[in-house]
Structure 1
Amino acid sequence: MSGRSFWLLMVLVVLGLLVVESALLAAPRCLFTGQPAGNRDLYLADLATLKATALTTEPSHEEQPALSPDGRHVVFVSDRSGSPQLYLASFGAALGPWVPLTEPATGAWAHPAFAPDGRSVIARFAPDVRRRLSSTSLVLVDLATRQTSTIVESASFSSGPGEGPTVVVDHPAWLDAETLIFIKSELTDVEAPRVTSATLFRYDLKAGKAVRLTGGESYYDANGNPRGFMAGLPAVRPARATEPADIVFVAMQGRLDRMPMTVSRDGKDKRVLPLPTEGFFGPALWHPAGWVFGTIDEAGIPGLAFLPVGRGAAIRHLPFPGAVTDPVLVP
């Protein structure tokens, strides 16, 4: 190697290290559900320092946080009333007083997502708290009036009462102010559920129409090779300088294989994300400083990792003493 080539290589290495260092300094904060023991609570993680702080310490379960677009409020699920309900709280260094958004008599709620204007949330709803995967729907809750509006019903995908698999609509997210995405799953048994199909849909609020984007069944051919994939854990990646907004999801193939992918809003363009697949669980969340994604270890315990941008960047794992689920980035 000539002297000129050597120094050029050194410059590239230094530039790469500077990019990684700046990405670490700009690393996002993240809310998540943590379960160090038997109780689920909300935690705030600083992925620059890899430190996590508990935001709730109640004897009840608190989970599935959703942050408002301005990052000043959080909606989450708590069973402090005896069944999973939605609560609203201000968000800062700590949580403010909890304000109930739903009543225990109405049913069970899960996986809220703030609308882009911050005035409402959409969440999965089941009318029977004892059968939380039956007769599900996606319901919009107005934060000011507490009024609800049903947007999508699982019954619209079902063959009929008592016929075929149980259909669940779940994991809603906002592509824009007029467009939702969600997962439609099919289960063989709600008492001991086994997912046989999971499909990503786009829903146009004005047209009132659901459009299939990707996913479905994962099966094995005659030679034992997995074919097709189920789609899960969707998230929206906002528009970048030269790229439009798209949808990030987890492609699940066979029994264990999970792969991070993206799909365009029309469903025509699908791509595999260049993230490590070993130990990948999902979801995958994009941030200008890098990717935040769920992992799973050999014991089957889910965790959280951050991969900064920059050549040669190493994955940074959050050292949390328990399960980490439902991550959401702080704006």
Structure 2
Amino acid sequence: MGKFRIHTGADRIEKRIEAYYKQLTNPNTNYFIIDSSSSPEHNDVDFKFYSYQNKSNKQLHSGDLIIYRRSGSASEWGNEFYLYGAAEFGDIVREDFQTGNNLVTIKDPYLFSHHLMKENLRTFDWKFRQFNGKWSNFFNMNGITQISKEDFIGLLKRQKNLVPDEPDLSPEEESIAVKCYQAEKMESYFIDDKAKGIETFNAVNKFYSDKVKFNYHYKSALVADKNEADLITTRIVPWDDNKDIRLDSKNGICLTKIFSEAFKQGYFTFSDEGHILVSDVASGDPEVNKALKKYKNRKIYMNKEYSPNKKYLQYHREHVFLK
């Protein structure tokens, strides 16, 4: 399992800014927020390809820097838009003269450590346009909004500062995190302990932790706690027990720290319907026992689309739960 290398948020975001140094110091670089549905119909593949109308968007050029946005109409989260990554525009690989669409490659992709939701952006000091408190028509309807360099850097800092304890990832690990995102989209959940000689745990954890928290709307599935500093993504089937499901977000539950540790140690589990089952084996921590007694038989929040896989819950009951 990888070792955590903790740096300050400022150190880590400066590394990302340095990775875009050439573009950021080029006065000809433009900056955009682009909508992506990651839809085969539009030929969009997040962090790999992007399709756009070349006639109405002539300001886009190779070397420009972008922030990815999922619009409300394409969002999995209650029709709320969110920002989720950054990258550099690459070269045009295909021009469709019949439809007027260009397909471009995406270079140096960077997966955000934390989705930027509306609540994370209400106090953001936008420079390209004045924010009047309403999001309607704030972003261009064609899905491509030109922003300022200050906005681009500020958004990178905002998402990083929301995860102060995240491990410091190397460029190679950042690349693995993006590949994890893409694999999960394709419902491919296997990942080995190492990829090309690089330990994968920290890279997977960056992607996986935010994905599960996002699925649970950044609150505990059990106590509805929205204090993000106290939330932990907890695997139902432990990391070392099955490589084939390591990227499956249905193997994750968002819990507060005290319940996360108790769950991993087997002091409680869940039925297939999501009810808490408390072990007859008492924890050595009176606070844990008190909390478990309070929530005994409580039913966790079960999202229809992202509910825990029942096979994983069964595994936890049979192999982790203390009887």
TM-score by length of 1: 0.29
Q: Which has the higher helix share?
A: 2
Q: Which has the higher strand share?
A: 1
